[in-house]
A and B are shown apart, each in its own frame.
Chain A
């Protein structure tokens, strides 16, 4: 009799739990679904300042206020995609005027802080254009910046026989305006001409023309 009561109590508790889950689950879901409030927060996150390290020490996005900033996320071990993107940007910049170039800054942000030191990054990026700047930081700051720009990256273990891992990563170019607000994204497969055209559009908006 006692055992039967125990089962009844247990059964009742389980039923209550299930009811509870059914009742409260929609509530939980709505908390996680993107609401206008979270969307707005994400939007403002994208304008948030960040500080990482270049070969010249701590470097903040805000120190380039007044210039258009191009952000590219990559790593120096990257054998193909990053060099192609950086060559294409360097080539596009050659098509722009010196005035336009003076208003632009490319920042190459490492998704491989384990291997990329500020000095190593500088040597790497200046090979493509002497004005390019490489940035890195600790895992946390890199993770914060990549989250801010919704950059996806994931370490890929090497095949046996080689110790060097590679990293899957978003390979687009983020265009930020003079206030550090993201205004455009250029795909990895864009040609130098297409990049130059996109940048010119932002650098010489019709209203700025005399």
Chain B
């Protein structure tokens, strides 16, 4: 009975632009690569989980610290890495979209200020139905192995 009420609620809410898709999306481990201070761009990575029974599309992203934010992927063409903007990132019903170095990522282009390790950047993800979700992405060095080594030595 309770689940029926929730379902009804969900159906009613999904009619409005703000609710809907974003409510069924959870984000794990959002982070931004700590880039050299003079880097023009850097990448944001995370795992996007879709707990709904419908496929969802992430269609845009934005943040206050870069002039442009784009969705990108990499194609490895015989060792030549080709970065391409993608119109959307698909998140299958009940599945995950993995944004990671060398593959899908959110690209922050033309930074307004250099990011420092530990900075928190609010990253807003926009979905196909117009709903959106904002997550706090932490700036950290990319190679987890480097970090582990760092941790071991201290």
Contact = CB atoms under 8 A, between A and B. Distances in A.
Interface of A: 76-77, 79-81, 83-84, 87-88, 90-91, 94, 120, 123-125, 127-128, 152-153, 156, 159, 161-164, 166, 168-172, 187-189, 191-193
B102 A123 contact: no
A196 to B, nearest CB: 11
B76 A188 contact: yes
A162 B145 CA distance: 33
B86 to A, nearest CB: 10
A128 B105 CA distance: 21
Contacts of B79: 170-172, 187-188
B83 to A, nearest CB: 5
A135 B67 CA distance: 28
B39 A81 contact: no
Given A159-B70, A188-B76, A76 B36 contact: yes
A156 B36 contact: no
Contacts of B146: 87, 90-91, 94, 192
Contacts, number: 112
Q: Chain B interface secondary structure, helix, strand, loop or mixed?
A: strand
Interface string B72-95: 101011011111110000000000
Interface string B138-154: 00011101100100000
B12 to A, nearest CB: 36
B81 A169 contact: yes
A80 B37 contact: no
A153 B102 CA distance: 17
B3 interface: no
- How many chain B residues sit at the interface, stated as a range, is 35 or more
B149 A81 contact: no
B43 interface: yes
B145 A161 contact: no
B80 A127 contact: no
Contacts of B130: none
Contact of B33 (A83, A128, A164, A171): A83
A144 to B, nearest CB: 19
Interface in B1-43: 33, 35-43
Given A77-B41, A83-B36, A124-B36, 13 more contacts: A76-B40, A79-B105, A79-B109, A81-B102, A84-B102, A87-B146, A91-B145, A153-B80, A162-B67, A170-B81, A171-B81, A189-B76, A189-B102
Contact of B82 (A120, A124, A156): A156
Contacts of A120: 38
A172 to B, nearest CB: 5
